[in-house]
Structure 1
Amino acid sequence: MRTKWQIGDSLRVTRNVRDDGTFPGAFRGDLLVRRGRVGHVVDIGTFLFDQIIYSLHFIEEDRVVACREEELIGLDEPWAESRFETRERVLSARALSIDGEVRVPVGATGEILKVLRDVPGGVAYHVHFECLPGRPLIVRETALDEVAEKEARIENTHA
């Protein structure tokens, strides 16, 4: 197997890295490194003979975390920061229409299926809304709210 990067290279992690139960002092599911952070390769190995694993030192977190090659990009590769990550729950910030018919009302709950960082005009997402089962939509970041953010606004209007 050929490695794409070498020890000492600076790389960006493309997704949130969570503990799989093997990180000392953390619990399964704990966030270890947030997407977009830059780490430096300190070791290279393999997993199950077919996956290249890079151990990166993330200085801001003061952690060395193992990442699969597909979770990393070089600093020279394009990167667009996003508000949301795959599997996050979101709310529609505005009504969404298909062929002129509102299919997703304001405040509808959905789940991010995929982050689309390379679309013209900025970050967008594949979102599955509960009110539109089996029909994921591509939605711009500006048309979505965080679940907690929206709930806080609703609470403030009732206070």
Structure 2
Amino acid sequence: MECWDAKFPVGSQVRLIRNVRNDGSFSELNKGDLLAEQGAVGEVRSSGYYLQNQIVYQVFFPARNLLVGIKETELIDVNLEWVPCLFRSLDKARLTLALKVRDDIIAVKGDLVEVQRVFRDLDTGQLEYEIAVGGYYVKVDAKVVEAELT
């Protein structure tokens, strides 16, 4: 069966935008075990509805030889540029450039900032982070932050 309003038809190649763990559906694995990592590429085998308003796909991941149910909001087209999500809420990151609001510099390259939220555009694949810096909450492209040096 296939949903009439599914974004990805059967046979589509898709990419996972977040890690997916066992919710208990795979009895041979422990609950919480990693099923597929963000960035993994799979093929849509079918689609259906969950709770009447969420589209869920059966996606086959050949690298793991695994068929997993994945929500539409967790997938992007495989042909979109892939930018892995390196940060989660409250993670620390370093700026790769200076930021200013109006004419005031609020942070310089190398400053440590705190990630508040993560945003991924499911149509373009673009990844953005909302960061807290200089008393502001600023939404920036993923390339503006890098891992904190230790």
Superposed CA RMSD: 3.1
Q: 5+ residue gaps in structure 1?
A: 152-159
1:66-124 residue CA offsets vs partner (Å, 9 max, x unmatched): 1122333444xx511114256263322343222343212423132152135849xxx56
Amino acid at match of 1:107: D
1:145 CA drift (Å): 1.2
Instruction: Indicate if the aligned counterparts of 1:13 and 1:37 stay in contact, CA closer than 8 A.
Output: yes
Amino acid at match of 2:53: D
Instruction: Indicate if the aligned counterparts of 2:98 and 2:105 stay in contact, CA closer than 8 A.
Output: yes
- Is 1:103 paired with 2:106? yes
Give me the identity figure in percent: 16
Whole-angstrom distance in 2 between the partners of 1:2 and 1:136: 38
Aligned to 1:146: 147
Whole-angstrom distance in 1 between the partners of 2:69 and 2:119: 23
Whole-angstrom distance in 2 between the partners of 1:52 and 1:71: 10
Aligned to 2:24: 22
Residues 118 and 98 of structure 1, relative CA distance in 2, 3 Å threshold: farther
Q: After superposition, where does 1:9-158 map in structure 2 within 5 Å?
A: 9-19=11-21, 21-24=23-26, 25-28=29-32, 30-75=33-78, 78-84=79-85, 87=88, 89=91, 90-105=93-108, 106-111=110-115, 112-115=117-120, 118=124, 125-129=128-132, 131-139=133-141, 141=143, 143-147=144-148, 150-151=149-150
Structure with the bigger percentage of strand: 2
Instruction: Indicate if the aligned counterparts of 1:41 and 1:56 stay in contact, CA closer than 8 A.
Output: yes
Amino acid at match of 2:114: G
Query: Partner of 1:52: helix, strand, or coil?
Result: strand
Query: Partner of 2:39: helix, strand, or coil?
Result: coil
Paired residue total: 140
Instruction: Indicate if the aligned counterparts of 2:100 and 2:107 stay in contact, CA closer than 8 A.
Output: yes
Q: 5+ residue gaps in structure 2?
A: none
Query: Partner of 1:61: helix, strand, or coil?
Result: coil
The normalised TM-score by structure 1 is 0.66
Whole-angstrom distance in 2 between the partners of 1:36 and 1:85: 12
Aligned to 1:156: none
Whole-angstrom distance in 1 between the partners of 2:86 and 2:45: 27
